[in-house]
Chains A and B, each alone.
Chain A
Amino acid sequence: MALLEALFLQSGYNAALVAIGAALLGFSAGSAGSFLFLRKRALVSDAVAHATLPGVALAFIVMVTLGGDGRNLFGLLLGSAVTAGLGLLAIEWISRRTRLSEDAAIGAVLGVFFGFGVVLLTVIQTMSSGRQAGLESFLLGSTAGMLFQDALVIAGGGLFSVLVIWLLKRPMTLVSFHADYAASLGYNVRQIDLAIMGLVMAATVVGLKIVGLILIVAMLIIPSVTARFWTNRSGRLVWIAGALGGVAGYLGAALSASVPDLPTGPIIVLVAAALFTLSLLFAPARGVFAAAIRHRRFQARVHRRQGLLALAAQHPIREGYTLRLLAREGLVRADGVPTLDGRAEAAKVVRDEERWTIARRIHQDIGLSGQYDGLTPIEEVFTPDEIAEFDRRLGAPEAV
């Protein structure tokens, strides 16, 4: 019941705000992350997220030094955005200037910025007002004790990201998919790249409070990887990833509001991970089961065809799997001798081969002869009239 209440935003004003905020965050993180995923730079988000830590700590120190409240969420998020941006610049600088590859740059920035953040946290602990700073909550996120204006900041940030994505989706998709082509169309690739990184940073920063800096990475990566199982089109991928992220955010927040002791961040991530696992296993075209079935069928087709070719040539069949396959179909006896049906099938295969030989002689065009891969039936490539012509040239079928 509690879950239903939470799902329909009936468990209190704050919980409702968190749920809406999480859904918006999920949407913007999912779709922003899909641009990174398309550029094969998914883990850049990991570095960005970890690089927020020193920013949060620095912002706290600055705000306290200036005599303000160190815990002002807007100020903390601003600080986190600054160091996240520096981290991004550092990654770009290292991979452009040196021989190190981007993955090394990502890892270095991630570890070093986080390490420096930890140093600053210990500095804060020694400050008089630092003991109750509670900045550690940015590691794992915490919606408990969230203030109304915090929720507003999150909801506002999420909404803003969604708007930007809606406005810039086309150029961003184009750049992610094929930067050179986008440039040739007159888009400013560098600026659009910056906008993508800005979105990723915005999602990261907004997500700090709800899911924390380690798990926000999940919100940026998992939805787009999940979406990849459902579409081959990059334009759709962005929206599907956004929708998946939104669903995960909303469901996760509702679940966490309805059950005591369920931390929001991990639950949101686990909902996203569950959606991913289901897609990985059961997606119709790219899922594991579909692929396994397809591969088995393919293997069987290869072995069946090879077996029949061997029968036609009156070779012994060497491979056990081939033999079992043909025996199951009643095409050979257990000792490998072809049955009548087997001979008929072998004759068909020989016929197919001969037709292909003629076809390739007549049609020099690669589009057609390139289909000659041993498995494609000739009927799929040529019209019945053309095949009749091949047969006329071949003469009557021979028995094997």
Chain B
Amino acid sequence: MGAEFVQFSLTPMLIGVLAAIACALPGNFLILRRQALIGDAISHVVLPGIVVAFLITGVVATLPMLVGAAGAALLAVVLIEGVRRLGGIEPGAAMGVVFTTMFAAGVLILEQSDTSSVHLDVEHALMGNLESLVWFRADGWGSLFDPVALASLPEELPRMALACALTIALTLIFWRWLKISTFDEAFARAMGIPVRAVGFGLVTVAAIAAVAAFDAVGSIIVISMFICPPAAARLMTNSLSHQVLWSVAFATLSAVAGFALAGYGPLWLGAVNAVSAAGMIATVSGVILALACVFGPHARRLGEAAANSN
């Protein structure tokens, strides 16, 4: 746990943890609203978003790409809602139509545009490359207090920290609205709570989290961060606030354990090279969910538990 850890593991691990938490928070409400797959849709349209941003600006720069990805996510949400309402199509199918079409358009534009000069890596966008977000200038824990070294932190870290802080703040501020409009929409409407705006805001926050996380962990692995920690948390408790805390714990555990396993696991097995950290984080979150399904104290629906105990 010395200089090497700070240099090569600390920042990617932190970014992984922040990304996992930022995704897990809105994920809690998405799952309770039976909208878990909106995360799926959002994360698939991140790719076309960055491709279009690249086409318009002509440079591979962070800000335009984030804006492009966020724009694509919001466009996807609006289109899904449009197809659902205008066409009378069930939400799952509407999502499937919209995000696959946008994804195809993104790939097509990418292949058509001249990407030989600039490297726009599809696989990277889909699978992420967490390991590369290292802190070269660091030479030990002391670097945490060294302004020069701090200035060379990978820019993903402050960005992800900001996104995570935003999700936490919004979750806390709008807690009551989120809770009541998720539990009892009709009652919330009758109270005058802007139910549709709350729903749209939730999806927007999810989009922001997905966009901020994608180039660290890849746009598809983000899905498991939206869903696995909150789903496992749902099986641990019957209180919403406890569920959210559990989901944060599971998200953190997945990120830390996944990163460590990806880096050191192969070495223990005698291999030389590390495996994908993002993929391993997703795998760990899946294992946690599987364990929660088997051992979670509240894994079953209440009615069934009562019926079984009789």
Contact = CB atoms under 8 A, between A and B. Distances in A.
Interface residues on A, range: 35 or more
Given A46-B96, A286-B87, A110 B223 contact: yes
Contacts of B83: 280
B173 to A, nearest CB: 25
Interface stretch (B138-146, B186-194, B270-278): B270-278
The residue in A45, A93, A123, A125 that gathers the most chain B C-beta atoms within 10 A of its C-beta is A123
Given A97-B299, A112-B285, A119-B276, A43 B96 contact: yes
B20 to A, nearest CB: 12
A99 B300 contact: yes
Contact of B225 (A111, A116, A121): A111
Interface in B268-310: 271-276, 278-283, 285-286, 289, 293, 296, 298-302
A116 B104 contact: no
A3 interface: no
A339 interface: no
B282 A111 contact: yes
Interface in B170-196: none
Interface string A208-250: 0000001101101110110011000000000000000000000
Nearest to A279: B87
Interface string A110-139: 111111111111110110000000001001
A42 B104 contact: no
B227 A111 contact: yes
A66 interface: no
Given A99-B301, A110-B223, A123-B275, A266 B286 contact: no
Contact of B100 (A101, A121, A269): A269
Interface stretch (B5-13, B62-70, B121-129, B152-160): B121-129
Interface string B72-103: 00000000000100111110111111001101
B119 interface: no
Contact of B87 (A214, A215, A224, A229): A229
B241 interface: no
A49 B110 CA distance: 22
B228 interface: yes
A216 to B, nearest CB: 9
Contacts of A116: 279, 282-283, 286
A106 B36 contact: yes
B282 A112 contact: yes
A104 B234 CA distance: 11
A121 B276 contact: yes
Contacts of A228: 87, 89
Interface in B194-231: 218, 220-228, 231
A119 B262 contact: yes
Nearest to A272: B101
Contacts of B123: 136, 139
The residue in A125, A139, A221, A273 that gathers the most chain B C-beta atoms within 10 A of its C-beta is A221
B235 A42 contact: no
A126 B225 contact: no
Interface residues of B, number: 70
Contacts of A112: 224, 228, 282-283, 285-286, 289
Given A97-B293, A112-B286, A43 B92 contact: yes
A221 B227 CA distance: 22
Contacts of A136: 123
Contacts of A122: 273-276, 279
A221 B281 contact: no
A263 B37 CA distance: 27
A270 interface: yes
A126 B272 contact: yes
Nearest to A136: B123
Contacts of B103: 214-215, 218, 269
A37 B96 CA distance: 11
B107 interface: yes
Contacts of A276: 97, 101
B111 A261 contact: yes
A215 B224 contact: no
Interface of A: 37, 40-43, 45-46, 50, 93-94, 97-101, 103-104, 106-108, 110-123, 125-126, 136, 139-140, 214-215, 217-218, 220-222, 224-225, 228-229, 261-263, 265-267, 269-270, 273, 276, 280, 286, 288, 291
Given A50-B220, A111-B224, 17 more contacts: A43-B40, A99-B301, A103-B36, A110-B220, A115-B280, A118-B282, A121-B276, A123-B271, A126-B271, A126-B272, A139-B126, A221-B96, A225-B93, A262-B108, A262-B111, A269-B100, A276-B97
6 contacts: A40-B92, A46-B96, A99-B298, A107-B223, A116-B282, A140-B122
